[in-house]
Structure 1
Amino acid sequence: MSRVSSGRRTIWALLGIVAVILAASTVLAASPLDNAFAYVDSQRESILNDWITLIKIPAPSKQEDDRAAWVKAKMQEIGLADIASDEAGNVWGSYPGASGGPVLVFAAHMDTVFSKDTPINPEVKEGKIFAPGSGDNTSSVVGMLYAAKAMRAAGVVPKCKVIFLATVEEEIGLNGMRYFLEHSGITPDYVVAVDGGFGGVTYGALGIEWYKATFKVPGGHTLSSTGKPSGAKSLSAAISKLYEIPLKEDPKCYMNIGTLGGGTVPNAIASETWFTADMRSQSAEELAKLRDQVLAVINDQAKATGADVSIEALTLIPAGLLPGAENHKLTQTAAAALKAVGVENPRFSASGACDSNVSIAKGIYSVALGVTKSQNGHSVDEVAEIEPIYAGIKQLIYIASMMD
């Protein structure tokens, strides 16, 4: 063999070694964020299996115990620190970040709107899960847990201390989130409510208040009813006057009578009638003004028609929009997260109605975003798309990694 040929072979061998070293260096140089994203891709089957498992665990509001136990076990399996629960039923665990850094809370509610006896038989077909509660909000609970799992597997060291919180009773007034913020001893600097549809960022809170008005008068037969008070008169008079209230356009206010009822038989005075009023606005001040007008009309019309009236608050969800919320770094980081996972034009909204309403009302900059897309929410015909959840989980990891 010639020296030239031998030399060439030596050079090629050295080049091969260099190529291997460079390739290895590239792998080693992958960031913890990249590795966390790769971990999510490697866990697609497990994510889907856990998603289906959790769908099968009923969790009506105030009956989330079985789901909470499952979530707590998963947090222990992941290795989160300081795993805890409270008297309301919330469960949370922490992921340590840089010493002295701010506190970032991811919150996903465990409860659904379906009773325990609702048949739940998840069916997977055409890239979707067909089942009640598949989207709202089971997907978010599973997505949040896998974000934590991927971060730990990849060795992500966030600048924030990250709390992963599974809340209760979101569907009946955000009660779990309110209890956590008021009793846990944890003061978040930022809150991300994992709820809603994938591809958007909500940075404001739409206030919602529901009241039930019940009118009562002495009963009697139709033949003796002339000129006497009637619950029907009181109800109709109040509703007619309520719809005469002018509603502001800026900030936008809403008022609707959604349900009503009363009476027992066609040939008797309606001795008891009732209706519910739904009021909404992004402005806490304007919502309060509208509420005062509505309650005044109800009381005035009860008095004018000779009825006793009782008014019950059914739901009180706070409104709010913090100064500069649209351009706040949390909102912009959430938008950057969506772009990083392939959503070129994220949707923005200033009107949300979920756990982040409570934190916004307490002056904490917050956003709400979902991990997948679904249809027919709050219906037994609910359908959730499978593919988006993998990007949805990655967006949570991105936010946790980038916020400071």
Structure 2
Amino acid sequence: MTYLTSEFRDRVSAVASRYIEPIAERTTLLTQVSSPTGDEAARAKLLSDILAEEAYESVAVDELSDVTARIAGADRSKTLLLAAHIDTVFPHSADATVKREGNRLHAPGVGDNTISVAAVTLVKRLFDELAIVPEVDILVTGNVGEEGLGDLRGMRAVVDAHPEIGGAIALEGHSLGSVTHVGVGSRRLEVTFNGPGGHSWGAFGRPSAIHAAANAVSRLDGMDLPTDPKTTLNVGIFEGGISVNTIAPQARLVIDMRSVEQASLETLVTRVDGVLAAAESSEIKVDVRIVGNRPAGRLPHDTGVAGVAAKALSLLGLEPIFHPSSTDANIPISRNIPSACIGLAGGGNVHREDEFIDLDPVPIGLTQLILVTLESARQLRAGTL
């Protein structure tokens, strides 16, 4: 029997309507423990304590600070992953104090992605109130390394450690109504140009690392890139030199390449590698280091977890918005595991210290989450996901 019925929707909605305050309290608690990418241990400890208090099974923290725990299902041989990343883009120095104005919370990282982590901690309580046992095990994770140069290392580690995962839902705090079934892949390179240096007058004629880097950037900028599949290139950092009257001995670039198709991304990487190789000479050396490697992938929008999410949103009176993005779902999507990333609520100023999240959509977002989780688990057990 499907969980995507108006009767069950109303039953879940009645319970979820009481969760604005629990979500607000837990979001506030978690947000105020800062968790920059690469240094998530303090929030991981808090999250593991919360999950234990909520009676999740098998609470564990790995060496990366990924937190995992289980909700026992009727069929324990299969597992559905429910993921919410615990890292944020903000350093420990950012003021993480949560300020509340009515049903709006203000703080850096409050919506991306702390409210989702709070929601994951309350899923078991919602199941218990509904007197529902999911049809397969639900493995929940507060994973690290989703933002920036975190390179999805947390999600990779969790999926690698649990080969029994047969479906995955990634949860993001903003953009209720969105369904991501296409993972935007990326390759990020840190490129260092080294030259001989010297005085700008006395050693004039020696090659400059900055000039060599600038010529390479000019060639990269002149590339024709496909619009279908959408494929992009950006030099986001360019720095180097010592002084105005010194031939630059070093320059550094950070290059971001993206595509919705892995083959197109690999083609672009090959072309960029060629430009960088051509920049080398007897006096200019180019060192290339990969600092990010996110796989692209694509799953159908009308079947699997994405199809379940779309039907759940329609049942809630929302039009599903399908769009490609780079999220934790990239990892299972790239491995053809039925997966999608969905939104929980709405807010604004993402990746700014004045970020905010609105609590009014939380009951709908939680209802969606419960419907998608239970129906995906049902289909996974039945072999139809």
SS state of the match for residue 234, structure 1? helix
- The alpha carbon displacement at 1:191 in A equals 0.7
Among 355, 359, 373, the residue aligned to 2:332: 359
Whether contact under 8 Å (1:174, 1:317) holds in the other structure is yes
Task: Please show how residues 237-316 of structure 1 align to structure 2 within 5 Å.
Answer: 237-303=215-281, 306-316=283-293
Structure 1: which 5+ runs fail to align?
Answer: 1-29
Residue 210 of structure 1 pairs with residue 188 of structure 2:
yes
What is the TM-score normalised by the length of structure 1? 0.87
Separation in 2, partners of 1:279, 1:353: 12
Residue 147 of structure 1 pairs with residue 120 of structure 2:
no
Aligned amino acid, residue 134 of structure 2: P
Which whole-Å deviations, capped at 9, do the CAs of 1:304-337 have from their partners, x for residues lacking one?
x830110111111111113xx2121321211122
Separation in 2, partners of 1:165, 1:74: 12
Which whole-Å deviations, capped at 9, do the CAs of 1:209-242 have from their partners, x for residues lacking one?
1111111111211112322111122011101111
Q: Give the equivalent residue in structure 1 for 2:43.
A: 67
- The alpha carbon displacement at 1:34 in A equals 4.9
Which whole-Å deviations, capped at 9, do the CAs of 1:119-170 have from their partners, x for residues lacking one?
1221111531111011100011011222232012222122232111110111
Q: Give the equivalent residue in structure 2 for 1:318.
A: 295
Separation in 2, partners of 1:100, 1:63: 33
Q: Give the equivalent residue in structure 2 for 1:336.
A: 311
Q: Give the equivalent residue in structure 2 for 1:119.
A: 95
Aligned amino acid, residue 320 of structure 1: G
- The alpha carbon displacement at 1:390 in A equals 2.2
Structure 1's consecutive aligned runs of 4 or more residues displaced over 4 angstroms after TM superposition are: 30-36
The percent of aligned pairs where both chains have the same amino acid is 28
Q: Give the equivalent residue in structure 1 for 2:108.
A: 132
Structure 2: which 5+ runs fail to align?
Answer: 1-5, 380-385
SS state of the match for residue 109, structure 1? coil
Separation in 1, partners of 2:105, 2:269: 40
| Cα distance change, pair 31–100 in 1 and its aligned pair in 2 (3 A) | farther
- The alpha carbon displacement at 1:46 in A equals 2.0
More strand by proportion, 1 or 2?
Answer: 2
SS state of the match for residue 236, structure 2? strand
Aligned amino acid, residue 112 of structure 1: T
Among 153, 166, 171, the residue aligned to 1:194: 171
Separation in 2, partners of 1:101, 1:340: 30
What is the TM-score normalised by the length of structure 2? 0.91
Among 320, 343, 347, the residue aligned to 1:346: 320
- The alpha carbon displacement at 1:360 in A equals 1.3
Count of residue pairs the alignment pairs up: 369
Separation in 1, partners of 2:102, 2:21: 16
Aligned amino acid, residue 33 of structure 2: I
Among 136, 145, 149, the residue aligned to 1:160: 136
Whether contact under 8 Å (1:32, 1:154) holds in the other structure is no
Separation in 2, partners of 1:240, 1:64: 38
Residue 175 of structure 1 pairs with residue 153 of structure 2:
yes
| Cα distance change, pair 384–198 in 1 and its aligned pair in 2 (3 A) | same
Aligned amino acid, residue 189 of structure 1: G
Whether contact under 8 Å (1:80, 1:95) holds in the other structure is yes
- The alpha carbon displacement at 1:33 in A equals 6.3
Residue 378 of structure 1 pairs with residue 351 of structure 2:
yes
- The alpha carbon displacement at 1:92 in A equals 1.5
Separation in 1, partners of 2:211, 2:203: 12
